[in-house]
Amino acid sequence: MKITVIGAGNVGATTAQLLANAELANEIYLVDILEGIPEGKALDMYESMPIIGSDTKVFGTNSYELTKDSDIIIQTAGLARKPGMSRDDLLVKNAEIVSSCIEQAFKYSPNAYYLIVSNPLDVMTYVAMQVTKLPRQKVFGMAGILDTARYRAFISMELGVSMQDIQALILGGHGDTMVPLVRYTTVAGIPVTDLISKERLDEIVARTAGGGGEIVKYLKTGSAYYAPSAAVVQMVESIVRDQKRILPCSVLLQGEFGYNDIVLGVPVILGRNGMEKVIELKLNDEEKALLKTSADHVKKTIEEAMALINK
Ligand code: APR
């Protein structure tokens, strides 16, 4: 297993370290445009492996040549948000960065899975699909696991119970219009609506939708990276170990939930064959309306991105 992480910033470096610590690859290549940074961070990680007890080798580079024949490419390069910015404010610059990185990586690894992390996430995943022309089984984005993790953490804080007992699902775009499905949220099998009042749940849902922004406000110079990186690792592990976990990921819809030619967060099975299946579930009218608002927003941003790329 050879994994390439493009972008040696906060998300990229943390992801590479977590993957190496978990020995999910034999080799990890960290790529960045900055000189010395990917090499330095990679060597530092490599040198931590004897202590961690992992045999993963970590290399840093500015060149895509060394990433040849990677099994998985993780795209994290791009601008991160600053206070007051929405993920969509990153569109112009990140569309350019993502298409250029993916184009170069694809030249050397045409058979890889492409896992997109750069924001605005659903749109960048769509851009990566356009560049590679790969089927949706091979190109998908990380957002739903992160959003769901935030939601689960907040419910755990509220109830004072283990986070592991909280099961939840979030659909839609990775942004303020995301759709947490309260109806499908359970705590050790108990519907969350039996345990938390509607008013409090509404507040928790709102905090979840603004969860990324809450971190940006504290950090001031960038955005979240511990939870995003942990979410990427969960996706990689499901593929590498063929776990076939059901995880919310951003994928191209082909009729599911009534949508086509749009990338949105939906539950999927991730295994050795990549995104193996989209799981459809029955939504009520309110959930359908929320998903439509989210889809309309993502669709509009995809159109903007495609106009920029085709210019
Ligand atoms: N090629 C390679 N690397 C690039 C390129 C490029 N064309 N352009 C920028 N980078 C690198 C930067 O040099 C930097 O090291 O991407 C890295 C981004 O790192 P950070 O600024 O720390 O941003 P990070 O927090 O990692 O977020 C990256 O992930 O979650 C999303 O919204 C976030 O889009 C952002 C991305």
Residue nearest to atom 22 of ligand 1 (CA): 9
Look at residue 308 and tell me whether its pLDDT is greater than 90.
Answer: no
Is residue 146 within 6 Å of ligand 1 at its C-beta?
A: no
Closest CA to 232 of 132, 151, 118, 102: 118
What domains are there in the chain, each with its CATH number? 2-141 (3.40.50.720), 144-309 (3.90.110.10)
Write down the catalytic residue from 150, 152, 174, 297.
174
Closest CA to 56 of 86, 117, 15: 15
Supply the pLDDT for residue 96. 93
- 37-57 per-residue burial string, b: 16 or more CB within 10 A, e: under 16: bbbebbeebbeebeeeebebb
Residue nearest to atom 34 of ligand 1 (CA): 118
Look at residue 311 and tell me whether its pLDDT is greater than 80.
Answer: no
Supply the pLDDT for residue 230. 98
What would the pLDDT profile of 194-248 be if each residue is shown by its tens digit?
Answer: 999 999 999 999 999 999 999 999 999 999 999 999 999 999 999 999 999 999 9
Query: How far apart are the C-alpha atoms of 169 and 305, rounded to whole Å?
Result: 28
Whether 114 contacts 75, CB under 8 Å:
yes
Supply the pLDDT for residue 274. 98
What would the pLDDT profile of 126-135 be if each residue is shown by its tens digit?
Answer: 999 999 999 9
Supply the pLDDT for residue 250. 97
Is residue 290 within 6 Å of ligand 1 at its C-beta?
A: no
Mutation pick for ligand 1 pocket among 10, 89, 90, 96 (CB with most ligand atoms within 8 Å): 10
User: pTM of the prediction?
Assistant: 0.97
CA distances (Å), origin 102, targets 4, 18, 20, 97? 11, 22, 22, 9
Average pLDDT, the chain: 96
What would the pLDDT profile of 90-128 be if each residue is shown by its tens digit?
Answer: 899 999 999 999 999 999 999 999 999 999 999 999 999
Whether 179 contacts 291, CB under 8 Å:
yes
Supply the pLDDT for residue 168. 96
Is residue 34 within 6 Å of ligand 1 at its C-beta?
A: yes
Active site residue 174: yes
Strand, helix or coil at 243? coil
Atom of ligand 1 nearest to the CA of 224: 25
Whether 205 contacts 179, CB under 8 Å:
no
Distance from the alpha carbon of residue 258 to the mean position of ligand 1, in angstroms: 34
Look at residue 290 and tell me whether its pLDDT is greater than 90.
Answer: yes
Mutation pick for ligand 1 pocket among 97, 123, 250 (CB with most ligand atoms within 8 Å): 97
Atom of ligand 1 nearest to the CA of 96: 7
Residue nearest to atom 33 of ligand 1 (CA): 80
Q: Which amino acid is at 2?
A: K
Supply the pLDDT for residue 259. 97
Torsional class of 7: left (φ above 0), alpha (ψ -120 to 50), beta (otherwise): left
Given pLDDT bands bounded at 50, 70 and 90, which one contains residue 87? Answer: confident
